[in-house]
């Protein structure tokens, strides 16, 4: 049987982000993908015009249906949409690794998580996370301090880890120069770098990155190897973006995942 991974995230009908990106990524890594939908967006590569968050009980029931039958080896969360959904996810019982992508804004700047929900995420979900992977803006929001430099990223990782997450990966994709990500795992920092690619086709990058890590953890790969291999996959997938849509287009989900880094 192949490994199984579950994503708990929003739907992007244009297929570039959210559960669609997660399932494509799981598949590319040879992992069977399951998906519980939290919210539905109306969007394409040029606009996001509507967000409907689903009933928290409906989200909980989808997750339960998967958990009682499929036994995922790892679970990731993406856009959760409301405090009630964050609570519902935090109350689910499972023992496999949980990867939290603390999605707060869509690529186009629309809010995917309000203030009360951000608070619940910090208090209820992060203490259950094997890995939380904020970008610079999300790390600022989680710590209440600006995060603009590699030193800020290390400080933020420590503070977020104090809140209970077992490991923290602060993603510096919006820094100048190389795309530098900093992992804090069991008190030890490591750095992951890739060259910056000058492109607007980065829609769903965070989703693909966290889904790749989730797939690798479900396959039994160690966390630091999973981060390195996932980052290399995302770099290739951005470099070979297929140019679909008139706006910020998706990554290339056919890019080959590396066997090792």
- Residue 41 found at the interface with ligand PXL (CB under 6 A): yes
Residue 220 class from Cβ within 10 Å (0-12 exposed, 13-18 middle, 19+ buried)?
A: exposed
Residue 9 as a binder of ligand PXL (CB under 6 A): the answer is yes
Can 123 be counted among the known catalytic residues? no
Residue 78 bears catalytic tag: no
Among 78, 81, 134, 172, binds ligand PXL (CB under 6 A): 78
Question: Known catalytic residue: 144?
Answer: no
Catalytic residue at 187? no
* Nearest to 132, CA basis, from 231, 223, 10, 11: 223
Integer angstrom CA distances of residue 88 from 36, 52, 166: 12, 17, 21
Determine if residue 143 is left, alpha or beta; phi over 0 gives left, psi from -120 to 50 gives alpha, anything else beta. alpha
Beta bridge partners of 179: 194
**Position among 44, 45, 106, 210 found at the interface with ligand PXL (CB under 6 A):** 106
Can residue 79 be called a binding residue for ligand PXL (CB under 6 A)?
yes
Residue 130 or 202 having the CB closest to ligand PXL:
202
Catalytic status, residue 202: yes
Given 207, 214, 231, 249, the catalytic residue: 207
The reply to whether 83 sits near ligand PXL by the rule CB under 6 A is no
Q: Is 256 a catalytic residue?
A: no
Interatomic CA distance for residues 89 and 260, integer angstroms: 32
For ligand PXL, which residue of 3, 4, 6, 12 counts as binding (CB under 6 A)? 12
Q: Which of the ranges 6-14, 66-74, 81-89, 224-232 carries the binding residues for ligand PXL, by CB under 6 A?
A: 6-14
When asked if residue 15 is in the footprint of ligand PXL (CB under 6 A), the reply is: no
Residue 254: DSSP 8-state = T
Question: Interface with ligand PXL by CB under 6 A: which range of 12-20, 151-159, 186-194, 227-235?
Answer: 12-20
What's the CA gap between 36 and 201, in Å, rounded?
A: 26
- b/e burial code for range 39-72 (CB count within 10 A of at least 16 → b): bbbebbbeebeebebbebeebbebbeebbeeeeb
For 138, phi then psi, to 5°, come to -70, -35
Is residue 97 close enough to count as binding ligand PXL by CB under 6 A? no
Rounded CA separation 113/115 (Å): 7
Pick from 84, 90, 129, 207: which binds ligand PXL (CB under 6 A)? 207
Active-site residue, from 24, 202, 214, 231: 202
Q: List contacts with ligand PXL (CB under 6 A).
A: 9-10, 12, 17-18, 41, 43, 78-79, 103, 106-107, 204, 206-207
Catalytically annotated residues: 171, 202, 204-207
């Amino acid at each position: 049987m192949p490994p199984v991974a579950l994503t708990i995230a929003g739907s992007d009908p244009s297929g570039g982000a959210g559960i669609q990106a997660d399932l494509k990524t799981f598949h590319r890594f040879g992992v069977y993908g399951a998906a519980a939908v939290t919210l539905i967006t109306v969007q394409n590569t040029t606009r996001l015009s509507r967000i409907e968050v689903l009933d928290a009980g409906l989200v909980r029931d989808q997750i339960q249906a998967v958990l009682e039958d499929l036994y995922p080896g790892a679970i990731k969360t993406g856009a959760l949409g409301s405090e009630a959904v964050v609570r519902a996810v935090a109350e689910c019982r499972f023992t496999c690794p949980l990867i939290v992508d603390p999605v707060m804004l869509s690529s186009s700047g629309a809010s995917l998580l309000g203030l009360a929900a951000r608070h619940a995420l910090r208090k209820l979900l992060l203490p259950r996370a094997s890995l939380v992977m904020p970008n610079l803006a999300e790390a600022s929001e989680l710590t209440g301090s600006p995060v603009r430099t590699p030193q800020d990223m290390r400080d933020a990782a420590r503070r977020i880890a104090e809140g209970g997450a077992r490991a923290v990966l602060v993603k510096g994709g919006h820094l100048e120069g190389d795309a530098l990500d900093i992992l804090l795992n069991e008190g030890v920092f490591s750095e992951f770098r890739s060259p910056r690619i000058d492109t607007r086709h980065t829609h769903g990058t965070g989703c693909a990155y966290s889904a790749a890590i989730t797939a690798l953890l479900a396959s039994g790969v160690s966390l630091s190897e999973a981060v390195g291999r996932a980052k290399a996959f995302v770099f290739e997938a951005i470099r070979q973006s297929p140019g679909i849509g008139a706006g910020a287009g998706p990554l290339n989900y056919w890019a080959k995942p590396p066997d090792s880094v």
